[in-house]
Structure 1
Amino acid sequence: MVGIKDIAKEAGVSISTVSYALNGSSKVTEETRERIKAIAEKLDYVPNMAARTLKRQHTNIIGVYLADYGGSFYGELLDGIKKGLAVFDFEMIVCSGEKSHLFLPERMVDGAIVLDWTFRTQEIQQFADRGHHVVVLDRKIGHENIRKVLLDNKGGATLAISEMVAKGTKFVYLLTGSSKAYDSQQRLEASLKELNRFSIPHETIEGDFTEPSGYEAAKQIMEKKHKLPIDIFAFNDEMAVGMYKYFEKTNYVIGKDVRIIGFDNIEIGEFLLPKLSTISYSKHRWGMLAAEKIVQLIQGMETEDEHIYTTLINGDSF
């Protein structure tokens, strides 16, 4: 494997001169820099990132940890993170799975943004105790090296149930995400509080935030005896889409016989017929704030926790 020693030998310069040239230092002339870069390209030189990281003690890269990459939810969030980091000359790498957790202790990333309920809270706290910086989007943790940018899940769920109450609902099905997911827990807690406040009967069905789980939940609901309309609060739009696909195969009319409210306001919801009623918030702003917080932590700047607030988008599905 070609190293900077080989480039230095080919160019007839010192190793330090090659290092300055490849790292953009002003200590070499532009003519020397271009000549060394040309030789490096000719020799097919690939920088050793691990070695550079050990020397510089930073990478200007942030690890963004997600539970999975499925569905259409993440695009706008990641775009917000990317643009937010670019302001500070940082980049991101999107990660999933336990092995990628090693990027923090091995200093392959300078910090982490976590929206991954499988990433254990205890492990995040241990990283923070060791001096690593983390921004969490899906749980409450108090630590000097951790900041939270949390979605107002309870407020959004309250808006959804309030809309149902205003429309005269008599019974509500709550389609949740995984019981281990923070956002699902928060939405369920707020929903139950509101339904109990108005003495409205309800039933909870556990999904997993995916379209297929929404389809299966709709099938399960149709196997029960009930009066019309059937009112459903799906804890995300992906599951609501799955329900649409199931009910399209029946004689039930969405918006009349079956009334649905989703959560997240993903783009596909606008193209459903009828248009999906949903809880909306700015995923782009969520990402931008997360990026800002992690860089401020890394640079030792004052920074506070933030919340992303929600609104109800009235469609024709409820």
Structure 2
Amino acid sequence: MDKQTVTIYDVAREARVSMATVSRVVNGNANVKSETKDKVKAVIDRLGYRPNAVARGLASRRTTTIGVVIPDVTNHYFAELARGIDDVAAMYHYQIILANSDESNTKEVQVMENLLGKQVDGIIFMGNLVNDAIRDEFKKADVPVVLAGLLDDQDAQPSVNIAYRSAMNDITTRLLKAGHKDIAFITGDLNHYMNKEHRLLGYQDALATYDIPYDEQLVFQGNYDYQSGYELAQSVKSSKVTAAVVANDEMAAGLVNGLTDANVKVPEEFEIITSNDSKVTVITRPQLSSVTQPIYDIGAVAMRMLTKLMNHEEPAINNIVLPHGYIARDSTKK
């Protein structure tokens, strides 16, 4: 029998019990004799029956599914966030539907519409920007939405993050204390709220403390990916900068490899500090010094917050800020 087509009816017929009994066994109902339970489970294993979560949801008026919008499934930062979400979702017996939006605002709208069409109970939204089109989708959704690793300037959705401005100030200050005066700020699109109103301000705060004028020529924008970091290496080398703070680990990895290929020695001639402390930081040579942030926890806390909202509980705090730290590796001098 094709496992894809095995139904609860087939299990009931083979086990010679009612469909209600099969349903009780599948849902862990204690009100079934142990010998009956064993018999049903044996048939389920033999036939390879997989309960249809959507069908079960229709019966209970809940799909037990969560939509997770991820901008780039290959990015280690977002993959780690998704792992935290998935582990907590499993604890509360929710399945997740992972939807990749390819860093595209147009596709994000489409992905939101698709998830809502699947009758999800809630959505966790990750990305780099919340624009008006996405906000309209949030308003249209009759399910709760939580932002993870993302801030919205209108502060309309519950969210879980670190203090990005403070983190960028911290790492820029470290390089200033080390004697650097010309420090590059390497980021994604500066039109994105988190970059312009948080990370850039943190960089500027540190410069102001050391009475160093802000120079927009030292700001380099990329696409959040490895290749854009690699391609920026030539421009960075040609400028007067001697160090860089980077908003994203994939770009930092591209930068360190690009500089190495251009015969710039890191950290002897150029120091780099990145921002996420994802697994990428220990893959590069030299390994990358970084802001440390609890990436897994951001995902896990966002999912826990969503479970409360789905149960109509008001969270004690709408915008949770988790602590960050710093780890020195080999892209900075000892």
TM-score range, shorter chain: 0.7 to 0.9
Q: Residue 21 and residue 102 in structure 1: after superposition, are their counterparts in 2 closer, same or farther (change >3 A)?
A: farther
1:150-299 correspondence runs (5 A): 150-185=161-196, 186-195=198-207, 198=211, 199-202=213-216, 203-224=218-239, 226=240, 230-270=242-282, 272-299=284-311
Q: Which residue of 2 aligns with 1:78?
A: 82
Which of 170-179 and 120-129 deviates more? 120-129
| Aligned-partner Cα distance in 1 for 2:53–2:91 | 22
Pairwise CA distance, 1:126: 4.0
* 2:314 alignment partner in structure 1: 302
Report the Cα distance in structure 2 between the residues aligned to 1:271 and 1:24, rounded to whole angstroms: 44
User: Which range moves more in the overlay, 5-14 or 300-309?
Assistant: 5-14
1:55 and 2:59 correspond:
yes
Secondary structure, aligned partner of 1:252: coil
| 1:105–1:78 CA distance, 2 compared to 1 (3 A) | closer
Query: CA–CA distance in 1 between the matches of 2:48 and 2:328?
Result: 57
Q: Deviations over 1:55-113 (max 9, x none)?
A: 11224332222101123323433332233334434343322134542454235432121
CA distance in 1 between counterparts of 2:252 and 2:151 reads 24
Report the equivalent of 1:135: 146
Please give the alpha-carbon distance, in whole angstroms, between the structure 1 residues aligned to 2:133 and 2:215. 37
Return closer, same or farther for 1:39/1:201 CA change in 2, 3 Å cut-off.
closer
SS of 2:245's equivalent in the other structure is strand
Q: Give the drift of 1:278.
A: 2.0
C-alpha separation in 2, matches of 1:106 and 1:30: 39
Q: Which amino acid aligns with 1:258?
A: F
Structure 1 partner of 2:123: 112
Structure 2 unaligned residues grouped into runs of 5+:
102-106
**For residues 179 and 11 of structure 1, do their structure 2 counterparts lie closer, same or farther at Cα, with a shift above 3 Å needed?**
same
Residues paired across the two proteins, number:
313
Distance 1:34 1:221 in 2: 66
Taking a change above 3 Å as real, the CA distance of residues 124 and 54 of structure 1, as seen in their structure-2 partners, is farther
User: 2-side partners of 1:120 and 1:170: how far apart?
Assistant: 35
TM-score (norm 1): 0.83
RMSD (Å) for aligned C-alpha atoms: 3.0
Q: Deviation of residue 9 (structure 1)?
A: 4.5
SS of 1:278's equivalent in the other structure is strand
Conserved 8 A contact 1:262-1:278: yes
Shift of 1:219: 1.2
The one-letter code of the counterpart of 2:65 is I
Change (3 A) 1:59 1:253: same
Cα pair 1:263 1:279 within 8 Å, conserved: yes
Distance 1:316 1:50, change over 3 A: closer
Within the candidate set 27, 31, 42, 2:35 is matched to 31
**Partner residue, 2:325:** 311
Q: Following the alignment from structure 2 to structure 1, what is the Cα–Cα distance between the partners of residues 298 and 135?
A: 20
**For the Cα contact (< 8 Å) 1:261–1:276, is it kept in 2?**
yes
The offset of 1:306, in angstroms, is 0.5
Structure 1's 54 and 67: CA in aligned 2 closer, same or farther, altered over 3 A?
A: same
Identity %: 25
Q: Secondary structure at the match of 1:306?
A: strand
> CA deviation digits over 1:193-242, x for unaligned, max 9?
44356224352211112111111101122344x3xx62222212221211
Corresponding residue for 2:104? none
Paired residue type of 1:154: R
Contact 1:154 1:190 in 2 (8 A): yes
1:3/1:284 CA distance change after superposition, 3 Å: closer
State the Cα deviation string for residues 131-173 of structure 1 (Å, max 9, x = none). 3011102123545xx4211221111111122223222323222
